[in-house]
Chains A and B, each alone.
Chain A
Amino acid sequence: MSKQSADRSRAARAAALLEEQRRREARRRTTVVVGIAAVLVALVVAGYVALSGRDTTGAAASTPSGMSDGYGVLVGDDAAPTTLTFYEDPQCPVCAGFESEVGDDVADAVSAGDVKVEYRVVSFLDHASENDYSSRAANALMVVQDAAGAEAFAELHRILNENQPAEGTAGPDDEQLIAWAVEAGADEAEARVGIESGAFDQFVENATDQMSKDGVNSTPTVFVDGQQAEGDPVAAVRGALG
C-alpha cells in the first residue's frame, strides 16, 4: 500500500468516525428534546386537571325556595307593569352607592305596584375581602330568601348595603350576618345553619357564571324589562321610574 492511499483511508476512517459520532449526538438530542417536551406537556395537563377540578361552576346546587326563573329573587307584585333586574355583588362599592341613590325610590315604586325588581345576587369580589365577605353575604341573602321570602330578602339587602365593608378589609363575620338575617325576619336556627354551612354557596357560584353568560361583566348592571341598560345605572332606573 502506498503512503498516499494509507493516508486517504485513515482520513476516511476519521471521517466515518466523526459522522457516526454526529449521528449519535443527533439521536441523543432528539431523545432529550422529546423527553423535555413530554414533561412540559404533562405539567400543562396536570395543571389543567388541578385548575378545572377547583372550579365547581355548574355543579349541582340546592336552590333557595321562591326564586324567579333563573337566579333572581323577585321583590314586588308579579303584576307590576315594569320589571327591573339588578345584578349586584354584596362587596361592590358602586352597587352600594347605586342602592343609596335609588333604593328608597325603588322601594316606593315597588310598594305602589309600579315596578317589580328581580335581584340577581352574584359574587366575584372575594379577592377584595379579607374574609370572603362577598360570597358569605351573597349566601346569607339566599338563606334569608329561602327561609323567610322576598320581603325579608329585601330587608337584609338594604341592611347589607348600608353596612358594606370597605374593599380590602375584613367584612362582618357570620355571627353578624346571622343577627342581621334575624333582624330581616328569618328564624335564627335556620339562618345559623344556612349561613354557617354556606348552604347556597354553589348556587351563588352558578348565578355568577350565568351573569357572565348573560353578557354582564360588571355590577351594578340594570335591565329594564329584559333590556340591558347602557351607561349610568342610576339614570337607567330614574328613567324607568319616570
Chain B
Amino acid sequence: MCQVPLRSLAYLPGVKDWFGLVARVVTGGVWILAGALKFPDPAASVRAVRAYELLPESIVPTVGHLLPVVEVVIGASLVVGLLTRPVAVVSTLLFLAFVVGIASAWARGLSIDCGCFGGGGYDADATEKYPGEIIRDLGLALLSLWLVVRPSSRFALDRALFDEGKRERHEQAVR
C-alpha cells in the first residue's frame, strides 16, 4: 500500500514561500489600509489615541501623528518584501500592542471605537466588537510572526537584493 505522508505537503519546496507571500500581502495590505485611512484627519488620530487613556498626554499627539505613517511604511515594505524579517518583528509587536490596548479598554469598561481604520472615540456597540478586533489582531500578529521565523517568500525584493551572492557562492562551490 502506498501512503503519501501527510507532512510532505508542507515540505514541498515552495509551498512555504507561497504562504510567506500570502502573509506579507495580507498583513501589509491591512497596515496600508489602516494607516492611509487616518491620513486625512491627523487630529482625529490623536483623539483616537487619547481615548484609550493609556499614554501620558505629553506623547499622545506624537503617537497620533506617527502611527499612521509607521503603519503605511510597514505595510509597504511587507507587500514588496523589503527587510521582511526586521519589519515583521515591528509588525508583530505593534499588533500585540494593539491587542493589549483593546483588551485594556475592554477591561476598564471603556466604550470606544478602536480607531483601527480611522475614526475612534465613543462607540455604543464597542463591547460587542472588542472580541472580534482582538481575534483579528492576534491573527495578524501570528501571520507577522511567521515572517519573523521564516521571512523567505515568493516575489520578495529581499531575494533580488540578497540572494545573488548566495547563488554565486553556491555555483562556485559546486564547481
- Does chain A bind chain B? yes
Q: Is the CB of B42 within 8 A of A54?
A: yes
A124 adjacent to chain B (CB < 8 Å)? yes
Secondary structure class of chain B's binding surface, majority of residues: helix
Q: Is the CB of A44 within 8 A of B42?
A: no
Q: Is the CB of B65 within 8 A of A52?
A: yes
- CA–CA, A44 and B42, complex, Å: 15
Secondary structure class of chain A's binding surface, majority of residues: helix
Residues of A in contact (CB 8 Å), total 32
Contacts A29-B162, A217-B121; is A22 near B169 (CB within 8 Å)? yes
Which residues from chain A sit less than 8 Å from chain B, CB to CB? 18, 21-22, 25, 28-29, 32-33, 36-37, 40, 43-44, 47-48, 51-52, 54-57, 124, 126-127, 205, 208-209, 212-213, 215, 217-218
Enumerate chain B residues within 8 angstroms of A29, measured Cβ to Cβ: 162, 165
Contacts A18-B173, A29-B165, A205-B43; is A51 near B83 (CB within 8 Å)? no
- CA–CA, A32 and B82, complex, Å: 11
Enumerate chain B residues within 8 angstroms of A18, measured Cβ to Cβ: 169, 172-173
Closest CB pairs A-B (n = 9): A218-B122, A47-B69, A25-B165, A217-B122, A55-B42, A217-B121, A212-B47, A52-B65, A51-B65
Q: Is the CB of A215 within 8 A of B53?
A: yes
Known: A28-B165, A208-B47, A212-B121. 12 other contacts (CB 8 A): A18-B172, A21-B172, A32-B162, A36-B161, A37-B83, A37-B86, A40-B83, A48-B69, A56-B43, A217-B120, A217-B122, A218-B121
One digit per residue, 1 when the CB lies within 8 angstroms of any chain A CB and 0 when it does not, for chain B 30-58 equals 00000000011111111100110100010
Size category, B interface: 35 or more
Q: Is the CB of B39 within 8 A of A51?
A: yes
Q: Is the CB of B161 within 8 A of A32?
A: yes
Enumerate chain A residues within 8 angstroms of B127, measured Cβ to Cβ: none
